[in-house]
Chains A and B, each alone.
Chain A
Amino acid sequence: MNPRLSILSAGPGVTLQDGGRHGYLRYGITAAGPMDPLAHATAHRALGNALGATAVEVSLGGVEVTAEGGPLGLALAGGEFRVSLDGAPLPPSCALTLHPGSHLVVRPGRAGAWAYLAVAGRFDLEPTLGSTATHTRSGFGGLDGRALRAGDRLTVAEARPGPADPQALVAPWLVRPPEEIRVVLGPQDDFFAEDQIAAFLAGPWTVTTKGDRMACFLDGTPLTHAKGYNIVSDGIAMGAIQVPGEGWPIVLMADRQSTGGYPKIATVIGPDLGRLAQAQGGTRIRFRAVDRAEAVAARRAEAQALAGPVAMEPLIRTDFSAEFLLGRNLIGGVVDGVQVP
């Protein structure tokens, strides 16, 4: 029998997400998929999985898991969550082998809102329209179209072990301060006067705690529209920033509606979607307008970061002697490794 990842506890909003359900926007079906695609891909890359494979998306609700029926190779990547294996702390981005009876606990930390738990192998799930991405509002994908909860067991096919001892992932590209988010203006920036575009870019905006997988709600000085706020509904890209009548911008995220009728002042560039998604409630952000060329260059840099395997570093262990560590010339690398969020 295949080993299983067993969910011992899960806070609200912990779901299974693959690379997204693409090709059905024309039927009103949003891709869903990871809130932080870069972190999702990093966790899979660390294990040698396909990049669009299914992972557990851990929300601020946190999760506690164990293995059943055999050991499981796991990788975790994302925000600065507090992670521990049988009580011993691990860095927020790490790879390990989880043995039956061991407990991996992932709890929210001082920064970051999403983390991705990938297994070496693949979760054995029935896809809906070609994807396992959970869209809870539609009730499909993942496990019965719902968030994970205590008692769920996820069968892992083609399971492989992870590193014998836990390792820190060396993924400096996941260090992304959320304070500045790059946007391309439009598609409906002409619904706003110049001073309102300037006010939008000056901010600052505070990320509210109301956000979920559908949208990030911002608080600040409301914007005004130059020619009303009703448009005949058109398509909505992930990262589109719509400004409804009351003037507070809403950034539409992975579970957004596929079409909408409010003017969209700007669109968060693809590489900064995860940066914004990782901002906890209360974080102050600003938007910076960039041209398409800069956005595409950032995408290219992201693709290059993920082109090769993800390096790993052993963890700092207090029971090593200084001589041992100096002899291995590891200290610099170890420190860099544990600073990865």
Chain B
Amino acid sequence: MQSPRLLDAGEAALVAEFGTTVDPAIHDRVLALDDALRAAPPEGLRETVPTYRSLMIHYDPLVLDRDDLADRVLALAAQPGKARPGAALWTLPCCYDPVCAEDIGAVAQATGLSVERVAALHAGAEYRVYMYGFAPGFAYLGGLPAELAVSRRATPRPPHPANALIIGGGLAGVGTFPMPTGWYVVGRTPERLYAPHRPEPFPVAVGDTLRFDAIDAATFSALERRAAAGELVARRREAA
């Protein structure tokens, strides 16, 4: 197996880069290294950040020597990857009604598809959670059908609603916090990927799989009330 490139991000972070593209095989190696490091963290390891193609490893250089860390990373990365026991399949309810999907018409126009077809394509796919970034609980997803690969907006739109399903530049995401975005809002889930008052504030782990289950606006309102009260409204199932 090819060794990752090791890149220093200052004197307190090391990046193990497995590739430069969005690719499930590359991401599997990122997650395997992340799991292995976290299973037996060397003293001085602070935290790790899995991304599409690399693992950023924050460490205390007064406790953990960079070259010792690098040796450990290379040794772990050379081991054959194990199946991830924690990877789960989630089904998130998602409302594609224009009330929730403010930009679905614009996506339909850009792709030449009907609004119904855009919703069906988005709901019919399986998505991998590649990473969180940008904002708390903002999940970057891979697996968007090629027909929905619209380019980003030329200029960002005003803040999207909380828990919006957004697409742009061939990627999909779940935007938990209202933020201006260069992507398009195609739906909204009542589920919260960041819920600070639940025992598990982040139910979905990087590497998990997401599916969306289309619901109408009335069901959305009902589930939104339950989710706001702290209930987990998504369904979770361990991967086979």
Partner-B contacts on A (CB < 8 A): 22-29, 128-129, 137-140, 184, 186-188, 231-235, 237, 239-240, 257-260, 264, 267-270, 292, 295-296, 299-300, 303
* B83 within 8 A of partner (CB): no
Chain A residue contacts of B11, Cβ below 8 A = 184, 269-270, 292, 295-296, 299
A129–B195 Cα distance when bound, in Å, is 11
Contact B9 A240 (CB under 8 A): yes
Q: Which of B1-29 contact A (CB under 8 A)?
A: 7-13, 15, 17, 20-22
With A129-B196, A237-B12, A295-B11 already in contact, the answer to whether A232 and B135 are too (CB < 8 A) is no
Residues of B within 8 A of A270 (CB): 10-12
A27 touches B47 (CB 8 A): no
When the two chains form their complex, are residues B15 and A235 in contact, meaning their CB atoms are under 8 A apart?
A: yes
Contact A129 B61, beta carbon cutoff 8 Å: no
A237 — which chain B residues lie within 8 A by C-beta?
9-10, 12-13, 56, 58
Cβ of B163 < 8 Å from any Cβ of A?
no
A27→B193 CA distance, assembly (Å): 9
> Which residues of the other chain, A, contact B192 by a CB distance below 8 angstroms?
none
Contact of A233 among B46, B52, B206 (CB under 8 A): B52
Instruction: Give the distance to chain B from A192, nearest Cβ to Cβ, in Å.
Output: 14
Docked complex Cα distance between A184 and B8 (Å)? 8
Contact A27 B12 (CB under 8 A): no
- The chain B residue sitting closest to A298, CB to CB, is B11
Q: 12 extra interchain contacts, Cβ-Cβ under 8 A, other than A26-B206, A186-B7?
A: A26-B49, A26-B132, A27-B132, A234-B52, A235-B54, A240-B10, A258-B132, A258-B134, A270-B10, A295-B61, A299-B12, A299-B61
Closest Cβ of chain A: how far from B27's Cβ, in Å? 11
Given contacts A138-B177, A232-B52, A259-B51, contact A268 B10 (CB under 8 A): yes
Other-chain residue from A23, A28, A267, A300 in contact with B134 (beta carbon distance below 8 A): A28
* B187 adjacent to chain A (CB < 8 Å): no
Cα distance A234–B5 in the bound complex, in angstroms: 14
- Chain B contacts for A300, CB-based, 8 A: 62
B194 and A128 within 8 A (CB): no
Q: Quick check: which of B86-94, B115-123, B136-144, B220-228 contacts chain A, the rest being far away?
A: B136-144
User: What are 27 inter-chain pairs, A to B, with CB distance below 8 A?
Assistant: A22-B47, A25-B58, A27-B136, A28-B137, A129-B201, A138-B136, A184-B8, A187-B7, A187-B8, A188-B7, A232-B51, A233-B131, A235-B9, A235-B13, A235-B49, A235-B51, A237-B9, A240-B9, A257-B133, A258-B133, A259-B49, A267-B10, A267-B13, A269-B11, A292-B66, A296-B61, A299-B62
Q: Among the listed A137, A184, A231, which residue makes an inter-chain contact with B10, where contact means beta carbons less than 8 Å apart?
A: A184
B190: Cβ under 8 A from any A Cβ: no
The residues of A that contact B17 with a CB separation of less than 8 Å are 234
Tell me, in angstroms, the Cα distance from A177 to B9 when the chains sit together.
24
- B66 CB contacts on chain A under 8 angstroms: 292
| Beta-carbon nearest neighbor of A259 in chain B | B133
Which residues of B have CB within 8 Å of A137? 135
